[in-house]
Structure 1
């Protein structure tokens, strides 16, 4: 049986107070919409409903089927825009601002159709503060209707079971029920939630799937986005701890959705890992380091206070130390850059030592250029390597040099003015002036 997930992503999200569409706000380094699309990947054919004014949302949803809601007249009209893609199996409709729902919960939602002869399954939860959520009216695991908070009576507002916005049913049933929804309510909108009472009017049982609150954190504001980020970060940390990664202060470590870390890695406090990072076993990431778009090989030590930028590859047993920044740089096995250094667009050979204060001058104001340094090289402190430039194997570069020409292997390079000492020209005692 084919299964289709219709993801509603056409809402304005005015409470976000942002020019960025709500569903594109990031969680753990990628848009919340993408989290939901990927969760549905193993179970559903995905159809994303977007607004005609949101080409960025359509781009984020590609290459999945995109449907445009011509006018924002409610969640039911958004769902109806996807009718041509319902197929003949099961259809699940979910809101795009619910990015933390698990695939297991989606499975329970579909399974609800087999319980108590239900023809519709709905997703619900019990938040700590029900607030403005729509309330699920019903009992014994079956829903009678969903009432929006603004339309609810005082008694209905006391109900703690709240609507999440997930609905599953047979494609033919869903299409028919959607066609019967009207806009007779305080907002004159077509509410998707009315599908419950319409199904009940036909005599259909509506099963309730109650999910954990932490899976159902719909996001409508910046504070709710931050709350969802906390939950997702906690999930990511727990997964790493369970896999054999040590974090001495887990709550201070921030991870990306695609972070890959092997066993026996130690991560010290206040580390931020952005998207695209892979860290091999036996590595130590020391405090206050920031990594993104990089590969760290076995046994390397990063930090403290290091920044590893996209395109960098740290070799086995290499060291990147205090206040060192790498960008698009390959640091060879056993190489060291331990202090106050910038290495950009460069390749550093194995067992090379980069002295404190060294920089690769990779940008000439128009274009970037590369620096290549061989193996077993000693670069003294405070050296500037003006790219494009190449340094051969086993070279020594004297401290304070400005290197503008290639250096052959097994050479020593000194590129600085000769020291001149003027005898007798040092500081001499001077009479003190009266203070004014």
Structure 2
């Protein structure tokens, strides 16, 4: 990877590759109502890997020397001894294997002893071949360099992913040998042991070849990223979303979309995003961990983060909704407006060049251009309250804590430091003075 970052921490759609593998394994457990632990074998960059990856019941094992795949799994042997059930062996740099494929693997092993995940390739050169008996069971994995001419014609290859009865795995792992040219312990030797012991070895295949593609370079990482995004885009299209260009959307999380949603180009959806029916999202928007209610129109170049946008709202262009923003139905946030921790009532408008933070705004409020809620004194944050029907004149500074009562008005350019009562007009600015004798300065020679 030519990077100081351990390979398995390089991200696919914003999530480290190994984290994707862990999440898939744990979702498989949840679907089956199992309580299995995830045993993570770490080597290069172990400390950074361990602190970066998250999950329930992760158990860590350090592989100080990298002596092959079998040696890696041997490190987890203390966690397997005395256990029953099935052990699923996955790879931190093979990030896109689907839960459905692993579930099929786990189902297959129930009446077998070891099940491999294999793949048919048009050109299997360089890969270990799967040799089967007449009854379809796996008899051996033969490396390309060791294969006979007849075996070279086999197109089924080993991916390395497997499911094994845990008791048998714990029995076989200590018997692995490094008596080979590379002096490494190969996990594939388990197949030979199983067949020698009269155990049943079978294989199953994924629905898509990309599920078993690994990453060893940034080129391969980028290719898998595009595959992942294509799959996400196709799922949205199938579920009734219009994408103006399916190749120019990035999904970096879990997205739920209603029908008749339209998404223009270069939109990024991060974290947990819910988009209801009939929403329009224009180009270059970023939406993260937010809910967008039906009928809302988000105009170009807007950013929405940890916010809830009500029905039929109008956002942007160039709007920024920061965490804690909540808009009621038909609210309007215009161009170059920033909100933070603000509840904005039904039909209220913040149209131009304003900052509204730590604020409670009622319904039918109009916030004039250039308005600022001055919520921070350098140490503490304070709240601004604006009740229903208020009109805030342009370029008003509301110095919190402050309240403007129902149907109140502030004059343009005012600095409001005291409460404005219901229906009152507040003007807080210097009196204008015109000087008729004033002379404009001239440039001196």
State yes or no: 1:409 paired with 2:427: no
- 1:131-186 alpha-carbon deviations (Å, 9 max, x no partner): 9x854443668472264x9x888989998755443210211222223222233456
State yes or no: 1:369 paired with 2:365: no
* Cα distance change of structure 1 residues 422 and 395 upon mapping to structure 2, 3 Å threshold: same
Question: Contact conserved, 2:23 with 2:55, CA < 8 A, in 1?
Answer: no
Question: Contact conserved, 2:319 with 2:336, CA < 8 A, in 1?
Answer: yes
Equivalent residue runs for 1:51-66 within 5 Å = 51=42, 53-54=46-47, 57=50, 60-66=53-59
Considering Cα pairs closer than 8 Å and 6+ residues apart, tell me whether 1 or 2 has the greater RCO. Answer: 1
CA distance in 1, matches of 2:406, 2:223: 52
- 1:95-126 alpha-carbon deviations (Å, 9 max, x no partner): 13333221110122123336xx7532222346
Partner of 2:253: none
* Cα distance change of structure 1 residues 126 and 204 upon mapping to structure 2, 3 Å threshold: same
Where does structure 1 lack aligned partners over 5 or more consecutive residues?
Answer: 1-14
TM-score (structure 2 length as normaliser): 0.79
CA distance in 2, matches of 1:308, 1:220: 38
Partner of 1:3: none
- CA RMSD in angstroms comes to 3.5
CA distance in 2, matches of 1:166, 1:120: 11
Partner of 1:76: 70
Identify the range of structure 1 (179-188 vs 379-388) with the bigger mean alpha-carbon deviation: 179-188
Secondary structure of 2:109's match? helix
Identify the range of structure 1 (361-370 vs 91-100) with the bigger mean alpha-carbon deviation: 361-370
Partner of 1:35: 20
State yes or no: 1:266 paired with 2:251: no
Identify the range of structure 1 (151-160 vs 64-73) with the bigger mean alpha-carbon deviation: 151-160
Partner of 1:175: 170
Partner of 1:281: 294
Partner of 1:46: 37
TM-score (structure 1 length as normaliser): 0.80
Question: Contact conserved, 1:47 with 1:85, CA < 8 A, in 2?
Answer: no
CA distance in 2, matches of 1:84, 1:25: 29
Number of residue pairs the alignment of both structures matches:
411
Work out which of the residue numbers 91, 114, 118 in structure 2 matches 1:120: 114
Where does structure 2 lack aligned partners over 5 or more consecutive residues?
Answer: 249-265
Equivalent residue runs for 1:75-224 within 5 Å = 75-86=69-80, 87-113=83-109, 118-125=112-119, 135-138=128-131, 142=138, 144-145=140-141, 147=143, 163-184=158-179, 188-211=183-206, 212-224=208-220
